[in-house]
Amino acid sequence: MYTADPVGGQSQFLTPVAAKPLSFNLALDDHAHDDEHSMHAHYGLGFGLTTDDDNESTLTARLEDSDARLMEMLAAQAAHREVDSLDADEDAIATDEKLTDEKKRDILQRNLNMAASNGDVDRVRKLVQGKAKDYVDVNMPDEEGTIPLIYASCF
């Protein structure tokens, strides 16, 4: 590429740097990072970095928080599958006179979030078009601040 400097009267040739090709592997048996993972597992994630005690405790707290969030997510999915296996009916929850409207909203909104995040189109359709539609809101964020439409857009 040729450029001219109108102020200084000088011109120069600019050549772009060739891009390095990206290489990635989606294979399930890719062991490219096994050594790195085992090193971090043995010595900690901060291996090779200079860390003070405060930074190290923050890192540990973040890892524990991450593990806790993963466990919560897995427990929620297991509970959702359990409810599915019991053949719980959203319409029955919506018409249950023993439950308060607030409890119905909480249960059904969680069901909508979980169904959307699992790509369960039939269940989402039943929640937004059936008797439960008065208790769910597709624009209401969950505890993470994410709305069901965002979860559904992943599928």
- The arithmetic mean of pLDDT across residues 94-104, rounded, is 92
Hey, which bits of the chain come out as E strands? 2-4, 11-13
CA–CA distances in Å: residue 109 to residues 27, 55, 104, 105: 37, 38, 8, 6
Q: What is the pLDDT of residue 34?
A: 62
Residue 101 half-sphere exposure, CB side, CA atoms within 13 Å?
3
Higher local confidence (pLDDT), 107 or 78: 107
Q: What is the pLDDT of residue 85?
A: 39
Residue in the structure block whose two tokens are 């919560």: 72
Going by C-alpha positions, the residue among 59, 81, 80, 61 that lies closest to residue 69 is: 61
Kindly tell me if the per-residue pLDDT of 3 is higher than 60: no
Model pTM? 0.48
Under the banding of pLDDT at 50, 70 and 90, the label for residue 151 is confident
Give tens-digit pLDDT for 37-65: 565 555 555 555 554 555 566 666 676 77
User: How far is Cα 91 from Cα 93, in angstroms, rounded to an integer?
Assistant: 5
CA dihedral 59→62→67→71, nearest 10 degrees, is: 170
Q: Are 2 and 13 in contact, with CB atoms under 8 Å apart?
A: yes
Q: Are 141 and 147 in contact, with CB atoms under 8 Å apart?
A: yes
Give tens-digit pLDDT for 11-27: 666 777 777 776 666 66
Percentage of the chain beyond pLDDT 70 is 57
